[in-house]
Amino acid sequence: MFRHQKELQFEVKVDKPDPMLARQIQEVLGGQFGEMTVMMQYLFQGFNCRGEEKYKDMLMDIGTEEIGHVEMLCSLISQLLDGASPEDQAEAAKDPAIAAIMGGINPQHLLVSGLGGLPSNSNGVPWNGSYIVASGNLLADMRSNLHAESQGRLQVARLYHMTRDEGVRATFRKMLARDRYHQYQWMAAIEELEGKNGVVVPASFPPEAEKESQPEAYEFWNLSEGTASAEGLWATGTAPDGTGDYVYVKEPVPKGQVPVNKIPSESLHHDLNTLESKLNK
């Protein structure tokens, strides 16, 4: 059960309206790595969690916090849109410089949401449920969470440098601080889960089933021009679980066969049968 409180997590205010910035902030609200994505990702992972109670509890804690972040961004976007109207745009068009700025406004902020935030990215593409990852494997999910927080914090940091509005920047600083902690959190969970299960997902797959292909589990294949990649730990180090050492293969040799696809039935109308008969004449 969720219970809404009227107060925002942090104070949200802007120095002045800025419709263009409102459009840009849509990316960290409804984009692939926006707050809507992490909110839904953590909640669905929590809803479906079958592991230890502490993991479910943590996921629900952070997922619920992210609901608050979505509300904060909607409030921020609304404040940045205050005063925007079709009449303002028409008036701004008289000044080429101002028109260029106002021309960047998301028209859906006027037409669809009535000067409010939208569940879409900065180009107006609707948020998509396929952005979220909730696999049921805790280690795989925690790694995905770390990735999502890394990308999300990166985008907020970029937005921070795109504005001089100190009110907006104050909100961003709060978000950046929380996203820093969330990265620490997922790192800690990953370390704990790796200590219990090992570093490879899924840990439950029987190693003996891989025995025939075991060499490939430790080989780095050089498949691009140059050999600079040989300098990395991935090519000369030891596997994190200590089961083997990496080998750098400078010139990997194919071990499979040349694929041969049979010509399909004429009923599929590839017209390959006709072409082959012409070529053989």
Q: The CATH number of the domain where 81 resides is what?
A: 1.20.1260.10
Q: What is the pLDDT of residues 90-106, one digit of tens each?
A: 665 566 655 555 567 88
Asked if 80 and 105 touch (Cβ cutoff 8 Å), the reply is no
More confident: 139 or 265: 139
pLDDT band at 272 (very low <50, low <70, confident <90, very high): confident
Do 113 and 213 lie in one domain? The reply is no
Nearest to 78 by CA among 105, 102, 107, 113: 113
Are 154 and 40 part of one and the same domain?
Answer: yes
Q: Please, what is the average pLDDT of the chain?
A: 90
Domain membership of residue 161 (yes or no) is yes
pLDDT at 162 over 70: yes
pLDDT at residue 101, rounded to an integer:
52
Q: In percent, how much of the chain has pLDDT > 90? A: 70
63 is in which domain, residue-wise? Answer: 19-197
Model pLDDT, residue 91: 63
Q: Is there a single domain that holds both residue 36 and residue 162?
A: yes
- Domain membership of residue 277 (yes or no) is no
Note the pLDDT of residue 268.
84
What pLDDT is recorded for position 88?
61
pLDDT score recorded for residue 275: 63
pLDDT at residue 99 in the model: 58
- 169 plus 211 within the same structural domain: no
Number of folded domains in the chain? 2
Residue 96: the pLDDT is: 61
Average pLDDT over residues 166-171: 97
Q: In which band, very low, low, confident or very high, does the pLDDT at 276 lie, cut at 50, 70 and 90? A: low
In this structure, the answer to whether residues 212 and 177 fall within a common structural domain is: no
What does the alpha-carbon distance between residue 218 and residue 235 come to, in Å, rounded to a whole number? 9
Task: Using CB atoms within 10 Å of the CB of residue 222, give its burial: 0 to 12 exposed, 13 to 18 middle, 19+ buried.
Answer: middle
53 inside domain: yes
Q: Does one domain contain both 120 and 193?
A: yes
Mean of pLDDT values over 150-163:
98
Cα–Cα distance list, 172 to 45, 140, 184 (Å): 26, 29, 18
pLDDT tens digits, 57-97: 999 999 999 999 999 999 999 999 987 666 665 665 566 65
- The reply to whether 269 falls in a domain is no
Measured distance CA(44)–CA(48) in Å, rounded: 6
- Tell me: do 143 and 240 sit in the same domain: no
The more confidently predicted of residues 117 and 103 is 117
Indicate if 53 and 184 belong to the same structural domain: yes
7 domain-assigned = no
Same domain, 177 and 229: no
- Closest alpha carbon to 36 in 148, 147, 164, 142: 148
Of the three residues 197, 230, 263, the one that is the final residue of a domain is 197
pLDDT over 70 (residue 15): yes
Predicted confidence (pLDDT) per residue in 191-244, tens digit: 999 999 999 999 998 888 887 777 888 999 999 999 999 999 999 999 998 989
Query: Is residue 270 pLDDT above 90, yes or no?
Result: no
Whether 261 maps to a domain, the answer reads no
Instruction: Answer for the pair 115, 109: CB distance below 8 angstroms, yes or no.
Output: yes
* Residue percentage of the chain with pLDDT more than 70: 90
How high is the pLDDT of residue 87? 65
- Per-residue pLDDT averaged across 260-266, rounded? 86
In a domain, 265, yes or no: no
Note whether 33 and 92 are same-domain residues: yes
| Same domain (yes/no): 140, 179 | yes
103 and 181 within one domain: yes
Decide if 28 is inside a domain: yes
